[in-house]
Chains A and B, each alone.
Chain A
Amino acid sequence: MASLKKRAVDIYNWFEQRLGLAAPAIEAAEHQIPSNTSSWWYVFGSAATVILVLQVMTGILLALVYAPSANHAWSSLEYLDHNIRLGWFLRAMHGWGSDFMIAVVLIHLMQVFLFGAYKFPRELTWIIGVCLLLLTLGMAFTGQVLRFDQDAYWGLGIGASIVSRVPFVGGALVDLMLGGPIIAGPALSRFFTLHVFVIPGTLLALVGLHLWMVLRLGINDWPMPGRLVNKKTYVQDYHKLTEKTGIPFVPDAVWKDAVFAAAILLAIMACAFWFGPFGPTGQPDPTIIQTAPKPDFAFLWIYAVLAYLPPSLETPVLFIAPVLIIGGMLLLPLVSGEGEKHWSRRPVAVLMVAVIAVTLGAFTSLAMYTPWSPIMNAWTSDPIPLTDLKDRTPLEREGALVLQNKQCRNCHAIGGAGGMRGPALDTVASHMTEDQIIRQVLQGGGNMPAYGNALNPAETTALVHFLLTLRSGNLPPAIDASRKLALTSEPPQAQPQPPVPNYH
C-alpha cells in the first residue's frame, strides 16, 4: 500500500519535474482573496466559463454529425433529432446552453457594473469583458444560422439587408457576408467557420486574458459605501485588506462557484430534457414563402426595435446607436475609473440598469407577439362576432363580407380576433364619422394603405355601412362637431339640419 502511494508520488514528481505546471497552478488556486468576496454574488463569471466549456463540448459532439452544406444542413439536424441516439438531447443542451450563457453573462455584467468592479485597476478586465459579451452574442447569431431552417435563411436575409445599408461599402459587405450573390451554400460555410473556428478561438483567448487579469489584480473587494477608489492608494489598501482578512480561494471560496455551476448545468440539462431542442423549423427553401421569420430569444428586442423605427431614422439609428452603445461601454472604466463603488451611492448607475432592463424586456415581450405584423390568415379563419351581425340590414352584412374578403382583419381585430397592426374596429363608429371612415378606407393614412383601388363603390358603401354599426352595442356614434356649424352658417335658404343618421 505504502509502495503504491510512493509510486504515485514518484510519477507525479516525474511529470512535475518536466512540466513544472502543478506548483504555479496550485499557488494560483490557493491565492488569498478578501474574505468578503466569498459571496453568492461572485459566482456568475465562473458559471459563464463552465457553460462555455459545456458549449465547446456539446458543439464538438454535434459537429460529428452536422453537415455544413446548404443542401444537407437541415436534414442532418433532422437526422440528429430523430435517427441518432440522444442526438436531440445534445442539440437541446447546446441550444439551451446558449440561452443560459447569454443570461449568465448579462447578469455577470450587471453585477460587475453595480459593484463598481470595472474601476481602477480593473478597467481592461471590463473592456475585455465587453468584447466577450459581443463575442457571446456573435456565437448566438452564427449558431442560429447553422440551424439552417426558414428562420435562419430569412434571418440571413435580414442581416444582409441591414449590412447593405452601410454607406458606400454596403454592397461589398453583403458580398463578403454571403460569399456569393444569394443566400446559399457559401453563406452557410462562412457562418460555420465563424461559429466553429473564428469566434470560439477569439472567445477562448480573451477568456484566458480575462481570468489572468482577475488572478493578477485580485477579485474585486466587496464595495462599501464611502470607501472611494483612489489610484494612488487602492492597490496598497487592497493588499492590506487581503492580508488582514484573506482566505485561500481554493477551497474556502470556490465551493460557492462550484455549487452554482452545478446548479446551472442541472438547469440546462433539465430544460434540454423537458423542452427539447430548438427547431429546426421549416426547411430553408425560399420558395416556401408561407413563413413568419423570427430571430432567437436574444435578438427579439432588435427585431422589435426595427419594427418601430420610422423609415427615415432607420439607417442612421442602425449604425450610430451600436457605435454609441458599445463605445460607451468600452469607455466607461476610462471615464469613471475612480470614486464610489457601492450601488447605494450611485443612483444613476442603478437607474441605468433598471431602464435598460425594462427596455430590453419590453421590446422582447413585444416581439413575442409582434403586434406590428399583419396576421396573414386572419381573414380566412376568424369569424365575425354574432353580435355584430344580428339585426343588421343586408347591406351591412354585405359590408361584413367585404371586410372579411378584403383581408381587413389581417391588420384589424374584431371581437378580439385579427391583426394588431391597425386599431381594433369594435368601436370604430363611436370615434369616427361616416366621412372620416370613407376617407380613411379610400385614401389610407397613418399606417394604413389606401384601398381606393381595391374597392369598388358598392363594396365601399357596404363596408362603411357595416363599420358604422360597430359601436360596441350602445356607445354614441361619433359626430362631426363642425358639421352643425357648417350647416347653420349656410345661407338662410339651406334646408333644416338633417337628423343624425341611424344605422340600426
Chain B
Amino acid sequence: MNPSEPLSPSDQATAAESAANAGNAGRSRRAFLFKLSLLLNGAVGAVLAVPIMGYLLGPALKKSSNEDSWIRLGPLGDFPEGETRLVNFRNPVTTPWDGQTGDIPCWVRRISGNDFQVFAINCAHLGCPVRWFAQSRLYLCPCHGGAYYEDGSRASGPPERGLFEYDHKIVAGSLMISAGKMPTLASRNCGQPKLTQIQPSSAIAREPFTEPMHSEDAQSRSSSWPA
C-alpha cells in the first residue's frame, strides 16, 4: 500500500522528509502511537486479568487438603449395635451466614462392636437425600428411586455405585468421621467403583490411583462386600 516500499532505505528516508509526505509521516506516527496504546492496554488488561481470574477461580484452585477434617459424631453409646441412625454434624468449613445449610446429616451404621460404616446422605446418582428403611434394610432415594443395601452397596435404580462413605475412627470412646466436602462422583470416584469404603477426597486428590484404604478393618470389610 505504501508506494515507497520497493525503494531503497535511503530513498525512503528522503521521501519521508519531503514536504509532500509530511502528512503521511504524521499519520504513520499516530498509527504507531495508536498501536502502542493498544499494546499498552493489552498489557494492562493482562495484568488486571491475573487478580480477577485468581479471585474467580479461587474455589477451584484451592488445595482441597484442608477441606476434610475429623469431626466427632458422638459417644459409641449413642449408636446401638445392629442399627443405622441419622446423625447431624456441623460442617467444619462454613461461613458465618451459612445458617442451617452448614448442618450436614449422615447415616451411621454400627455393625457390631467397633465396626462402623458412615454413609453420606447424598445419593450417588444425583445427590438427593437417601432415607433408611430399617424393616426392608434399604436406603431409598426419593428423586429417581435409587436403592442401596444396608452396607451401602448399590441395590437397584440409576446410581452407578454404592453410597459414598466417610472415613471414620474411634477416639476415646467417640466416633469420628472425616468430612467437610459434599461427596460427588468427581471427588469420590477414584477408579475403584466397586469399593464403598473410600478415602476422604483430600487423599484422593493427592494420590488418585492408590488403594483408598486406611485402617485394617476397612480393608478386611471391603473385601467381603458385594460388588
Contact check, A376 vs B140: say whether CB atoms are below 8 A apart. yes
B interface, how many residues as a size bin? 35 or more
A178 interface residue (CB < 8 Å to B): yes
Given contacts A71-B100, A285-B103, could you give 8 more A-B pairs where the C-beta distance is less than 8 Å?
A178-B182, A180-B95, A182-B181, A289-B130, A307-B158, A310-B158, A372-B157, A374-B140
Contact check, B59 vs A289: say whether CB atoms are below 8 A apart. no
Most chain A beta-carbon contacts within 10 A, residue among B103, B149, B158, B182: B182
Contact of B101 among A183, A372, A448 (CB under 8 A): A183
B159 interface residue (CB < 8 Å to A): yes
A-B contact pairs, 9 of them (CB 8 A): A171-B64, A171-B186, A172-B61, A181-B93, A183-B182, A285-B103, A306-B158, A407-B135, A451-B136
Contact check, A410 vs B133: say whether CB atoms are below 8 A apart. yes
Knowing A178-B59, A181-B93, A374-B140, the reply to whether A157 touches B128 (Cβ < 8 A) is yes
- Choose the segment among B33-41, B119-127, B170-178 that binds chain A (4+ C-beta atoms closer than 8 Å): B119-127
Contact check, A160 vs B182: say whether CB atoms are below 8 A apart. yes
**A292 proximity list for chain B (CB < 8 A):** 142-143
Q: How far is the CB of B178 from chain A (nearest CB, A)?
A: 13
**B127 proximity list for chain A (CB < 8 A):** 154, 157-158, 160-161
Contact check, A454 vs B138: say whether CB atoms are below 8 A apart. yes
**A502 proximity list for chain B (CB < 8 A):** none
A63 interface residue (CB < 8 Å to B): no
A37 interface residue (CB < 8 Å to B): no
A175 interface residue (CB < 8 Å to B): yes
Count residues on chain A whose CB falls below 8 Å from chain B CBs: 68
Knowing A157-B122, A450-B155, the reply to whether A171 touches B184 (Cβ < 8 A) is yes
Contact check, A449 vs B155: say whether CB atoms are below 8 A apart. yes
Knowing A161-B127, A293-B143, the reply to whether A449 touches B93 (Cβ < 8 A) is no
Roughly how many angstroms separate A408 CA and B156 CA in the complex, as a whole number?
A: 14
Roughly how many angstroms separate A19 CA and B182 CA in the complex, as a whole number?
A: 55
Contact check, A449 vs B60: say whether CB atoms are below 8 A apart. no
**B94 proximity list for chain A (CB < 8 A):** 182, 184-185
Closest A residue by C-beta to B201? A171
| Contact residues of A between 156 and 199, Cβ < 8 Å to B | 157-158, 160-162, 164-166, 170-176, 178-186
Which residues on A are within 8 Å of B, measured CB to CB? 69-72, 153-154, 157-158, 160-162, 164-166, 170-176, 178-186, 283-287, 289-293, 303, 306-307, 309-312, 314, 372-374, 376, 379, 405-408, 410-411, 421, 444, 447-451, 453-454
Closest A residue by C-beta to B154? A311
Knowing A176-B57, A374-B142, A410-B140, the reply to whether A184 touches B101 (Cβ < 8 A) is yes
Roughly how many angstroms separate A146 CA and B223 CA in the complex, as a whole number?
A: 44
Q: How many contacts A-B (CB < 8 Å)?
A: 208
Contact check, A157 vs B182: say whether CB atoms are below 8 A apart. yes
Roughly how many angstroms separate A379 CA and B64 CA in the complex, as a whole number?
A: 43
**B158 proximity list for chain A (CB < 8 A):** 306-307, 309-311, 314
Q: How far is the CB of B64 from chain A (nearest CB, A)?
A: 8
B211 interface residue (CB < 8 Å to A): no
Q: How far is the CB of A441 from chain B (nearest CB, A)?
A: 11
Contact check, A186 vs B143: say whether CB atoms are below 8 A apart. no
Contact check, A373 vs B186: say whether CB atoms are below 8 A apart. no
Contact of B99 among A70, A291, A372, A454 (CB under 8 A): A70
Closest A residue by C-beta to B121? A289
Q: How far is the CB of A145 from chain B (nearest CB, A)?
A: 12
| Contact residues of B between 125 and 151, Cβ < 8 Å to A | 125-131, 133, 135-138, 140, 142-145, 147, 149-150
Contact of A186 among B88, B95, B122 (CB under 8 A): B95
B98 interface residue (CB < 8 Å to A): yes
**B143 proximity list for chain A (CB < 8 A):** 154, 158, 292-293, 303, 307, 373
B222 interface residue (CB < 8 Å to A): no
Q: How far is the CB of A190 from chain B (nearest CB, A)?
A: 9
Roughly how many angstroms separate A407 CA and B60 CA in the complex, as a whole number?
A: 42
Contact of A453 among B59, B88, B149, B187 (CB under 8 A): B149
B81 interface residue (CB < 8 Å to A): no
**B86 proximity list for chain A (CB < 8 A):** 287, 289
Closest A residue by C-beta to B125? A161
Q: How far is the CB of B129 from chain A (nearest CB, A)?
A: 4
Q: How far is the CB of B219 from chain A (nearest CB, A)?
A: 23
Roughly how many angstroms separate A376 CA and B136 CA in the complex, as a whole number?
A: 12
Contact check, A164 vs B185: say whether CB atoms are below 8 A apart. yes
**A306 proximity list for chain B (CB < 8 A):** 125-126, 144, 158
Query: Which 5 pairs between the two chains have the least Cβ-Cβ distance?
Result: A71-B99, A164-B184, A449-B155, A157-B127, A170-B186
Contact check, B91 vs A181: say whether CB atoms are below 8 A apart. yes
Most chain A beta-carbon contacts within 10 A, residue among B93, B105, B138: B138
Contact of A376 among B135, B142, B157, B185 (CB under 8 A): B142
